[in-house]
Structures are given as structure tokens and as C-alpha cells.
Chains A and B, each alone.
Chain A
Amino acid sequence: DVKVTQSSRYLVKRTGEKVFLECVQDMDHENMFWYRQDPGLGLRLIYFSYDVKMKEKGDIPEGYSVSREKKERFSLILESASTNQTSMYLCASSLGGTGNTEAFFGQGTRLTVV
């Protein structure tokens, strides 16, 4: 089974802190994604990556950055956390290529910024 692991299920951080959310997948997937989930808004794409050291902005990248130094690991960074970044963050991966469309998700990190 594909496994996508997020380092924390719950985090509480203070305003202005630098926050790292870590995600690791164990199936050699090419593609990795960070989504933010808010009630009524569904999931919105923050950043994605198709390869090591490669990153592309999604729909809501402001206030976030990412790092993919190794194929299996994709980190989301909040440079200076703000209260409006309180949310659920979901990491996902997919194999990539024609027909390989299924995304596999981690269990999410519920981040609270106080």
C-alpha cells in the first residue's frame, strides 16, 4: 500500500514563527502536492512538485514556500505564521504519467496559529 506520512497530526504555533510541515511518501511517486482544507472551501492547492528541486505555485501560494530536496520528501514552510493560516493541511502524492491519476493523501496536519 502507498503510504503518505505527515509528521504531525496537530500543531500549535505562535504568530510570526517559522513553521515546517513535513511529508514523506514511500512509493517513489514523481508528483507531490500540498493542499489546504477549510470548511466550505474544500481543498485548495498551495504548491506542487513534479520532480526533485522542482516546485510550482498552486492557487494560494502567498505566505508559503516549499522544499523538495529528495524525491520522497516534500516540505511546506510558513515563513512567518499568521492566524489566517490556521487550517488543515493535506499532503498528497501521485505516480504521474498517462492514466496514473490517483492521488494518495496523508492524514493531515491541523495547524492552529495563536
Chain B
Amino acid sequence: AQTVTQSQPEMSVQEAETVTLSCTYDTSENNYYLFWYKQPPSRQMILVIRQEAYKQQNATENRFSVNFQKAAKSFSLKISDSQLGDTAMYFCAFMNNNAGNMLTFGGGTRLMVKP
């Protein structure tokens, strides 16, 4: 079974600053995906970024990037130039590629972007 741990229940950042959210996971699998999902106050969960475990290059999506350390089983999310609209719950999630599309989630980090 996989586990996903987010050690920061809450974080805050000033608008335009950079913030990094931490995530670690535990698995014996070698073929998997990692995700960051965002849940704003509207409750609509949306995908922020995805990383395939077999790819060494870190994924980036505009202001969002990850630091994927496979050996350390670490998958952090960096948000650059933070905006007020980034205020949300952020969930790290794991998917075993050999077990369908089921996601295992971390406990979440509540991020507040301050003006």
C-alpha cells in the first residue's frame, strides 16, 4: 500500500513571493505518477501538475514547478509569483500505474496568499 504525507497543514506567503509545499510518499512500486491538485474555496478540485516517475526532468506548468527526488521519495511543489487566486488547499497524490487510476492523497496543505 502507498502512503502520502504532507507535513505542512497550513502555510502563508505574500503576494508575488515564492512558496514551496512539501510532500513525501512511500511505495515499493517503480511505475507510478505523482500529482498536485488544488481545491479553492469553491471546492472544485483541479489538477495543477503531473509527474511521471520514469521521467527525470521535473514537470513545470507556468508558475508551478515540482522538485521530484525519486530516491528520497519526495515531491515538492513550488509556486512562483504567488497570486491571491492561489489561495486554496493543495493535495499531493500518488497513482500506481499498475492498479488503475486510483489516487492516494496526502492530508493537504492550506495555503493562504496575503496581499
A residues near B (Cβ < 8 Å) are 31, 33, 35, 40-45, 48, 50, 58, 88, 90, 92, 94, 96, 100-103, 105, 107-108
Which residues of B are interface residues toward A (Cβ below 8 A)? 4, 6, 9, 33, 35, 42-47, 50, 91, 95, 100-108
Which of A35, A58, A100, A103 is the most central at the interface, judged by chain B CB atoms within 10 Å of its CB?
A103
- When the two chains form their complex, are residues B91 and A43 in contact, meaning their CB atoms are under 8 A apart? yes
- Does A42 contact B45, Cβ atoms closer than 8 Å? no
With A31-B100, A40-B9, A42-B91: A103-B47 Cβ-Cβ less than 8 Å: yes
A93 to B108, CA, bound (A): 21
Residue pair B102, A48 in contact (C-beta under 8 Å): yes
Chain A's nearest CB lies how many Å from the CB of B77?
Answer: 15
B106: chain A residues within 8 A (beta carbon)? 42
Which residue on A lies nearest to B33, using beta carbons?
A101
Q: From the candidates B44, B95, B105, B107, name the one contacting A101 in the complex (CB within 8 A).
A: B95
Q: Chain A residues with Cβ under 8 A from B105's Cβ? A: 35, 42-44
B42 near A107 with CB under 8 A, answer: yes
| Contact indicator A42/B33 (Cβ below 8 Å) | no
In the complex, what's the smallest C-beta–C-beta distance from B101 to chain A, in angstroms?
4
Closest 8 CB pairs of A and B: A42-B105, A105-B45, A43-B105, A94-B101, A42-B107, A108-B43, A31-B101, A40-B107
Give 7 A-B pairs besides A33-B103, A101-B50, A102-B47 with Cβ atoms closer than 8 angstroms: A35-B103, A40-B9, A42-B4, A42-B6, A43-B103, A101-B33, A105-B44
